[in-house]
Structure 1
Amino acid sequence: MASEIRHIVFDIGKVLIHYDPSLPYRRLIPDDAERAWFFANVCTHDWNIEQDRGRNWDDAEALLIADHPGREEHIRAFRKHWHEMVPHPYDGSVAIMERLIDEGRDVTMLTNFASDTFREAQQRFAFLNRPRGVTVSGDIGLIKPDAAIYHRHADTFGLDPDATLFIDDTAVNVSGARDAGWGAAIHFTGADRLKEDLHRYGIEA
């Protein structure tokens, strides 16, 4: 455990705002089996993560439409209906982050997010503008859990890695922060547990 935490870094999706790509598709592809096939074979996680790495949506859509021309409408729906995939904030964890900021803690954000959809999220959720800054994967062409993105974030914001605590909902990203030399990393599962975990590091929220 780091002896003193001076920097706190939040992930965004599934930590501060809800994200579920299936939400609009429950309407667009009502059949459960067909919808599962679509996400397993067309708009897959691996396809979507490349937008987080910086690929633009026109190229991303064209790639899939070339292989699945009969699915063009559903492919284009991913970006078109993205706003439905992020329906609400997680009020508990947002309140924790805002209390830490109000107390004068150094809070930044590090997220795997496409550039354009992140700016859309900032417009919708004002609290995403409150931390000192953010590293967006789509802006820099790096994604978690690559060690380079943690190093870039620390360099950009002048963080002492050993005094930095990272909060993320994905275990491999938590491990990535530790492997990159950050002093502490928390696997987020809910606001109540986050309070307990922060307390273990001497941080009351």
Structure 2
Amino acid sequence: MIKNIIFDFGGVLMDWDPRYFFKTYFNDDEKMEWFLKNIAKDEWNAEQDRGRTLKEGTDLLIQQHPDWEKEIRAYYDNWTTMLNSDIPHNVEVLRQLAGKYPLYGLTNWSAETFPYALENYDFFKLFEGKIVVSGTEKMIKPDREIFDVLISRYHLKPEESVFIDDNAKNIATAASLGFATVHILPDTNLGEELRKLGVNF
């Protein structure tokens, strides 16, 4: 029986993408994609999610690519523009679950930028502070260690919990630990998938 619901945030409840800023900045999709694939890579951003400071990450990338200093500095200077909006249909499911199930968050997110989302999107209050942030813990999904933090901190039994994420590697780790899972894809109906697992709301 499912007793606990755990949400990832980016791609599940929040629509974040650096393209929301850089599309206008470059006004050239090909150049934008080259920059995001070869300079400001996902792997680089993930290290800030793992706990490296924004300044350290920015300075390191500028050292490696000095010709792109202006664009690299623009990345975190305009981070709030990249956080486009919430994802309404999934947030609605979250609101329906509130009060019926304990809700938890497990997110790969920089400790420096997460407070902005926390302050500007009221649905985060529904988690009542039960959120594990990778940048604060200095560990990151899909590594098992951050799942262990969630489990031990909140005394969760994976077999009584469902984990929701848009990243297949994170889903695989959760499943290996015994969690029921919902892999969010563009056409996923979250409410339907949860009901299939026996979640009633």
TM-score (norm 2): 0.95
RMSD of equivalent CA atoms? 1.3
For the 8 Å contact 2:51–2:110, the answer to whether it is kept is: yes
Any residues of structure 2 matched to 1:106-125 within 5 Å, and which?
106-125=102-121
Q: Which aligned segments of 4 or more residues in structure 1 are displaced greater than 2 angstroms?
A: 189-192
- 1:44 corresponds, among 41, 46, 56, to 41
Measure the CA separation in 2 of the matches of 1:185 and 1:37. Answer: 34
User: SS of the residue aligned with 1:102?
Assistant: coil
For the 8 Å contact 1:5–1:164, the answer to whether it is kept is: yes
Corresponding residue pairs, total: 200
User: SS of the residue aligned with 1:13?
Assistant: coil
Unaligned 5+ runs, structure 1: none
Any residues of structure 2 matched to 1:30-41 within 5 Å, and which?
30-41=27-38
Measure the CA separation in 1 of the matches of 2:2 and 2:200. Answer: 12
1:160 is matched with which residue? Answer: 157
Q: Does 1:172 align with 2:179?
A: no
Query: 1:37 is aligned with what amino acid?
Result: W
1:72 is matched with which residue? Answer: 69
1:28 is matched with which residue? Answer: 25
Instruction: Please say which of residues 42-51 and 62-71 is displaced more in the overlay.
Output: 62-71
Measure the CA separation in 2 of the matches of 1:37 and 1:24. Answer: 15
Query: 1:193 is aligned with what amino acid?
Result: N
Measure the CA separation in 2 of the matches of 1:95 and 1:191. Answer: 16
For the 8 Å contact 1:147–1:179, the answer to whether it is kept is: no
Measure the CA separation in 1 of the matches of 2:83 and 2:190. Answer: 21
1:61 is matched with which residue? Answer: 58
Instruction: Please say which of residues 65-74 and 135-144 is displaced more in the overlay.
Output: 65-74
- CA 1:66–1:192 in structure 2 vs 1: closer, same or farther (change >3 Å)? closer
Q: Does 1:189 align with 2:185?
A: yes
CA shift, 1:192, in A, is 6.0
Give the percent of matched residue pairs that are identical in Structure 1 and Structure 2.
33
TM-score (norm 1): 0.93
For the 8 Å contact 2:53–2:112, the answer to whether it is kept is: no
CA shift, 1:90, in A, is 1.0
Query: 2:159 is aligned with what amino acid?
Result: D
CA shift, 1:200, in A, is 1.0
Q: Does 1:202 align with 2:198?
A: yes
Q: Map Cα deviations across residues 63-109 of structure 1 (whole Å, 9 max, x no partner).
A: 11112112111101111111111111111111111111132x11111
For the 8 Å contact 1:12–1:110, the answer to whether it is kept is: yes
Unaligned 5+ runs, structure 2: none
Measure the CA separation in 1 of the matches of 2:178 and 2:192. Answer: 23
